[in-house]
Structure 1
Amino acid sequence: MIITSADADIGAARRATSEFVAHSGATASVDDVVLVVSELVTNAVRHTVGWWRLKVQVRSRGLVVDVEDSSWVPPALRRPGSDAVGGRGWGIVQHLADDVEVFENSGGKTVRASWGRSQPR
């Protein structure tokens, strides 16, 4: 599944992700994945100028969420005050995903969150 800033907003990204994950056969929690997508896309909207692209896919090793945007500046953990509205998203992403990576691409950066497949018992 691929969604871009040209054809969707944050709410549409959440809804499409929920639908995709629910029917994908992935073992990751739909709620966890949707919250991670919400945080990553929101960060792309708030902290970059230009486009963003969301790609959610099931691979042999699990579920992968890529959010690409037009900035080369990596996400950073902030310490919000107790009454602050923002500043918690990057910590949420790191807590909910099994693995998080950030790497440069040709037009900015990609933030990748992934969840592995559970092993058969």
Structure 2
Amino acid sequence: MISPYADCASARDTAARFVAEHCPWADLDAVQLVVTELTANALRHTEGWWRLRLCAEPGELAVELDDSEPAAPAPRKPDFSGGGGFGWHMVQSLASRVEILPTRVGKTIRAIWYRQAEAA
């Protein structure tokens, strides 16, 4: 999925289909919230392109968002009067691990979920 051909809603829908097919064990609500926050931030804070990738390996799901903005997201104090500041904190708390990787033309934000071991 590459901008400007998609928005937050289509990114969420794509994530839902991917999770259902490849990682039904994943918390779909958490994945969709992270996808929404990452794409909304890319739309809001990036002047160029962005690309969403969903990757599944045995026991692992990764949501990767590449964008043309080299600056890493900066956590802000949440503003309960409507000024935002909640998204980056949500991304970090919903995923098992979050990585920010600089690229030659911007950055990649990678949110990872691990499959929990089944109880015996």
TM-score interval (norm. to shorter) = over 0.9
| Per-residue deviation, residues 68-102 of structure 1 (Å, max 9, x unmatched) | 00011000110132202421100000010000000
**Structure 2 match to 1:83:** 81
Gaps in structure 1 of 5+ consecutive residues: none
Gaps in structure 2 of 5+ consecutive residues: none
C-alpha displacement of 1:23: 1.9
TM-score by length of 1: 0.92
The answer (yes or no) to whether the contact 2:23–2:61 under 8 Å persists in 1 is: no
C-alpha displacement of 1:63: 0.2
Q: In 2, distance between residues paired with 1:47 and 1:58? A: 27
| Per-residue deviation, residues 8-61 of structure 1 (Å, max 9, x unmatched) | 111110111111112213422011000000000111110111100000011134
The answer (yes or no) to whether the contact 1:26–1:62 under 8 Å persists in 2 is: no
Q: How many pairs align?
A: 119
Q: In 2, distance between residues paired with 1:83 and 1:25? A: 37
Q: Which range is displaced more, 79-88 or 49-58?
A: 79-88
**Structure 1 match to 2:71:** 73
Q: In 1, distance between residues paired with 2:52 and 2:24? A: 17
The answer (yes or no) to whether the contact 1:26–1:58 under 8 Å persists in 2 is: no
**Structure 2 match to 1:96:** 94
TM-score by length of 2: 0.92
Q: In 1, distance between residues paired with 2:79 and 2:85? A: 9
Which of 13, 16, 19 is the equivalent residue of 1:15?
A: 13
Moved over 6 A (4+): none
Identity across the alignment (%): 43
Tell me the amino acid that sits aligned with residue 104 of structure 2. Answer: S
Please provide the CA RMSD for this pair. Answer: 1.2
